[in-house]
């Protein structure tokens, strides 16, 4: 149940808005499988929490005629290989509304994944779209309910796991890692909580997936207790506690091109997952990193280390080499430092040219990224790769 001004909204287990004694904006008390309310009451919020206009449910790209169980216009997207039901261009949720939802009006959101717990502090395993469990987090994220609705509905993320202890933890997914050619895992840094994950961090994951394309799946992993802006940020204790969980997640993913992109303090988590727990990945991106304990990029081999440092980001300079070890953006560290373009400060790495660079790395096109400096052999390796591509 969620309070919005003078209205109180209640939801059932599927995320449908149902009537209460104090709500006049809910359409009905219950709904048929394809959204038709048992009793129609005009304009309001109903099936899957969406806006009803008479017998039509507004799902952004298209409107669903609830009584007919069909969209008003055909699906503008190409079909999905291997799915016969995808050829039905007007059908809702691949004709499986009990298990799937389609908040975008473009393609069903399939969140039936089985990976077990994905958190350093295990919470509750899920096989549901995030919107279906948003109510379970209401007390923890009461001040961000509207931001949550706009973020998760527009981006179509699945919540794979969550826990409400402490500041909260959660793991969300954009795309389908089971068939993706490339998988990116985003790890946030200091001050990230369950609330800010879904109002900011999940949106960054959505932006990366949009830029990288449909062959990429992006996981936003707040699977550890990120430090607050206090003395806890000066030690690596939180990163050490989170590293086993991240390493475990990496071990469960299918064989694909895998990249971990970590921001600020979050870079310590994959660093320790690789060097301390044998985590295997192709590329590691450190954004605005305050430092890592490893003395050089070679400590992560065969993982290639990339570093982004935006103009005006003072965190690495402030941290120096005192708190968390070597600063990876220095040429002597041996990582590939890429140009972040017009991104400024500590919080714009998933924007503009910086986002383009990250997307290229994630999709295996790192040679297309503008480079500030790189270790010996990087340029030659790119030249050889291009010659092979030209020859084919």
> H-type helices in 45-170, by residue range?
130-133, 145-155
Band (16; pLDDT cuts 50, 70, 90): confident
The tens digit of pLDDT for each residue in 255-304 reads 789 999 999 999 999 999 999 999 999 999 999 999 998 999 999 999 99
pLDDT greater than 50 at residue 150: no
Kindly indicate the confidence band of residue 137, based on its pLDDT and cuts at 50, 70 and 90.
Answer: very low
Across 119-123, 243-247, 360-364, least confident range? 119-123
Element counts in the chain: helices (H) and strands (E): 9, 18
Contacts of 274 (CB under 8 A, 6+ apart): 247, 281, 284, 300, 303
Q: Is residue 346 over pLDDT 60?
A: yes
198 or 307: whose pLDDT is higher?
Answer: 307
Q: Is the pLDDT of residue 118 over 60?
A: no
pLDDT given for residue 130 in this prediction = 44
Does residue 127 or residue 322 have the better pLDDT?
322
**Looking at per-residue confidence, does 349 or 124 come out higher?**
349
- Choose the weakest-confidence range: 121-125, 311-315, 387-391: 121-125
**18 by DSSP, 3-state: which?**
strand
What pLDDT digit, counting tens, does each position of 33-59 carry?
Answer: 888 887 655 567 888 778 888 788 888
What's the average model confidence in pLDDT over 369-384?
A: 91
- The burial of 337, by beta-carbon neighbours within 10 Å (0-12 exposed, 13-18 middle, 19 or more buried), is given as buried
Q: What is the predicted pLDDT for the residue at 377?
A: 87
Average pLDDT value for residue range 188-201: 80
Q: Is the dihedral of CA 140, 142, 143, 148 positive or negative?
A: positive
Residue 104 — pLDDT band, cuts 50, 70, 90? Answer: confident
All structural domains of the chain, each given as residue ranges with its CATH number in brackets, are 2-95 (no CATH), 124-391 (3.40.50.1820)
Number of residues that make up the chain: 392
Poorest-pLDDT segment among 21-30, 164-173, 325-334: 21-30
Angle between helices 268-277 and 237-252 (to 10 degrees): 70
Of the ranges 5-9, 99-103, 128-132, 199-203, which one carries the lowest mean pLDDT score? Answer: 128-132
Is the CA virtual torsion 40, 46, 48, 51 positive or negative?
A: positive
The pLDDT assigned to 331 comes to 94
pLDDT in tens, 212-269: 998 999 999 998 988 887 777 778 889 999 999 999 889 988 878 999 999 999 999 9
Q: Mean pLDDT: which of 63-72, 78-87, 189-198, 350-359 is highest?
A: 350-359
pLDDT at 131: 44
Contact 382, 367 (CB under 8 A): yes
* Three-class secondary structure assignment of 297-338: HHHHCCCEEEEECCECCCHHHHHCCCCCCECCCCHHHCCEEE
Mean of pLDDT values over 82-102:
72
Share of the chain above pLDDT 70, in %: 73
Per-residue pLDDT reduced to its tens digit, 57-78? 888 788 999 878 889 998 876 6
Q: What is the mean pLDDT of the chain?
A: 79
């Amino acid at each position: 149940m969620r309070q919005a001004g003078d209205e109180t909204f209640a939801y059932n287990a599927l995320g449908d808005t149902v009537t209460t004694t104090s709500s006049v904006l809910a359409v009905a008390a219950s709904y048929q499988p394809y959204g038709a309310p048992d009793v129609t009451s005009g304009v309001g919020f109903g099936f899957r929490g969406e806006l009803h206009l008479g017998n039509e449910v507004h799902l952004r790209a298209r409107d669903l005629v609830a009584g007919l169980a069909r969209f008003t216009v055909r699906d503008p997207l190409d079909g999905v290989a291997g799915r016969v039901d995808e050829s039905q261009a007007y059908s809702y949720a691949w004709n499986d509304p009990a298990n799937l939802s389609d908040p975008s009006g473009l393609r069903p959101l399939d969140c039936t994944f089985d990976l077990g717990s994905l958190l350093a502090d295990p919470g509750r395993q899920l096989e549901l779209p995030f919107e279906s469990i948003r109510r379970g987090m209401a007390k923890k994220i009461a001040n961000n309910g509207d931001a949550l609705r706009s973020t998760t509905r527009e981006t179509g993320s699945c919540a794979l796991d969550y826990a409400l202890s402490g500041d909260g933890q959660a793991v969300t997914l954009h795309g389908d890692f089971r068939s993706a050619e490339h998988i990116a895992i985003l790890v946030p840094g200091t001050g990230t909580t369950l609330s800010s994950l879904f109002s900011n961090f999940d949106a960054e994951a959505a932006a990366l997936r949009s830029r990288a394309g449909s062959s990429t799946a992006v996981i936003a992993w707040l699977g550890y207790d990120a430090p607050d802006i206090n003395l806890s940020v000066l030690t690596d204790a939180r990163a050490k506690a989170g590293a086993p969980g991240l390493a475990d997640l990496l071990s469960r993913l299918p064989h694909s091109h895998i990249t971990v992109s970590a921001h600020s303090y979050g870079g310590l988590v994959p660093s320790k997952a690789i060097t301390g727990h044998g985590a295997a990945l192709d590329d590691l991106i450190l954004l605005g990193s305050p430092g890592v304990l490893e003395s050089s990029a070679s400590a992560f081999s065969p993982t290639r280390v990339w570093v982004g440092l935006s103009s005006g980001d003072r965190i690495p300079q402030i941290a120096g080499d005192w708190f968390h070890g070597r600063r990876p953006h220095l040429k002597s560290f041996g990582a590939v430092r890429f140009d972040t373009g017009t991104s400024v400060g500590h919080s714009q790495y998933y924007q503009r040219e910086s986002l383009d660079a990250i997307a290229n790395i994630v999709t295996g096109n790192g040679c297309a990224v503008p480079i500030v400096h790189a270790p010996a052999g990087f340029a030659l390796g790119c030249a050889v790769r291009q010659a092979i591509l030209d020859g084919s």
